Amino acid sequence: MDALQSDEITGILNGKDLFMVSAQPEEGADKLSAIECWSISSQSCQKVYTYRNSFVSFRTLDFIGNTYIAGGALRKPWISVWPLNQPTPVQPPLLIPSTTSALAISPDGSILVVAIMNKIHVYEISTGDFLAVLSRHYSPVSRLAFSTEGRFFVSAGQDGMVLVWKTAEVFTMGASSSPQVVSTQGRIEDVVFAGSDCGLSLMALVGSDHACRVYETLSASQGPLGTFLFRKPLVALTGNLSATNLAISDDSGMVYRLPLITEEARSAFPQIMSENDWNQRHQFSGHTKTVRCLQFNTDGSLLVTGSDDNTVRIWQVKSRVCVRVLQFKGPVTNLLRCPHPESVFSKKNLMLSRPLVPLQRQLVGDSSDKRDGFSDSQFSATGISSALASRFSEQPEAETHALSVQPEMQARLDEALEREAELFDQLQAKDAALQALKTVNEELYGFARENLLKVHKV
């Protein structure tokens, strides 16, 4: 990349997106592995950078802000980290208690969540503080993901349980925080967020029960907005930035586009498409084995898919035509669109802007100064970014600017909070009605049992 001139860099970025791709070498192949950065458009594909020594586990690749790319090491108890403009990893890596099955980092790069078996370890990246261990799953956690602005994160386990956590609540209350619980049938394979945390925030998940379910994030525990059934078990999905389309893959290698919102509804208040309007004609056929990772480009015109058949394919969404095929040395395990292409080509030392510190092994106590001065209502009103901004208020303005909440979003935040409070009241009313129904059922059961015994004695 050092040989690239400024005009070449401009050409690479003009109308193109950067994607990070990692592939796991097959047994018996050479042991060299790398994360490759590709510039992709419908006209051309070009490899622009390589991150070496990168044996990264399946679906554990993520970005730390606009500075680093990180991934859980394969069968090793650490997280490997690379500056976006350097080919070699930072030494030493970030040590964790054991190997990880899932990993996610908040969009601003402040919070790291790591799945180790059925527990979720939560860290603050800037200080390395070990914030909490969340133990609500009964089976290993298979997927972690943050919402678009980082207000929520979701954990999905092999037990069929999906938990939606408020990031701010976990930050302040640790293991005492109460997530929304979404129960499904069968193993959950993938879960993504789409839309804005301050507007219509959607959560979609797929699994072995052949179904894709779409929820409104704030009321996920009340049931899905829509359930879309497929012919085979589902493996992976992704959403575009406008939350109008999902791309879903099944275990045969087939990929489908699921339009969430009709063309007529885009100009008005978005409305999820009815299950009756959905059919499986939006198919992308070409992969010969399971597709395990998918990503749209920025404008949603291209879909990039990575498969166990050792290929990455680039598709035009409207025509469903495959325009490019990239060959790799093994199954593709991670595929991410890079939101910070300027950092990849930066000549600055990115590590100076965000130094990495080791992750702590001991939990931060509930009485620590770290959580003093923050109320739950403060986090609920403005999210974690506002609380972190107030915490670092004595630092230079340039360091806290990215953490501040934009004033024009406050009205939308307040509206979302009011709606959440209404939903909470409705949920409490339903719980009370359910409890009353249980009491009536118990009384009926006792009455019936007593009278049946009397008849039997007679």
pLDDT at 450 > cutoff 70: yes
The tens digit of pLDDT for each residue in 250-266 reads 999 999 998 887 554 44
Helix (H, G, I), strand (E, B) or coil at 82: strand
Any idea where the domains of the chain sit in the sequence?
6-344
How many beta carbons lie within 10 A of that of residue 371, not counting itself?
17
Which one, of 314, 321, 320, 310, lies nearest residue 297 by Cα? Answer: 314
392 confidence band (pLDDT: 50, 70, 90): very low
Q: What is the DSSP letter of 407?
A: G
CB 350 within 8 Å of CB 74: no
Question: 136-171, pLDDT tens digit by residue?
Answer: 998 899 999 999 989 999 999 888 899 999 999 999
Separation of alpha carbons 446 and 425, rounded Å: 32
45-89 pLDDT, tens per residue? Answer: 999 989 987 788 888 999 999 999 999 988 889 999 999 999 999
pLDDT tens-digit profile of 353-382?
Answer: 888 999 999 888 644 444 543 444 334 334
Q: pTM for this one? A: 0.75
* Exposure string for 316-331, b = 16+ CB within 10 A, e = fewer: ebeebebbbebebeeb
Report yes or no: 244 and 257 within 8 Å, Cβ to Cβ: no
> Does the pLDDT at position 173 exceed 50?
yes
Q: With bands split at pLDDT 50, 70 and 90, how would you rate the model's confidence at 302?
A: very high
Q: Which fold has domain 6-344?
A: Methylamine Dehydrogenase; Chain H (2.130.10)
The answer on pLDDT for 408 being more than 60 is: no
276 to each of 181, 227, 279, 283, 384, how far by Cα in Å? 27, 10, 8, 18, 39
Identity of the amino acid at 101: S
Q: What average pLDDT does the chain have?
A: 80
User: What tens digit of pLDDT does each residue of 6-41 get?
Assistant: 555 555 566 688 999 998 876 544 455 679 999 998
In the block, residue with structure tokens 């050092």: 2
ω before 92 within 30° of 0 (cis)? yes
Question: What SS3 class is residue 159?
Answer: coil
Give the model confidence (pLDDT) of 206-248 as tens digits: 988 888 999 999 889 898 888 888 888 999 999 988 888 899 9
Task: Work out the average pLDDT over 127-143.
Answer: 93
Q: Are 315 and 324 in contact (CB under 8 A)?
A: no
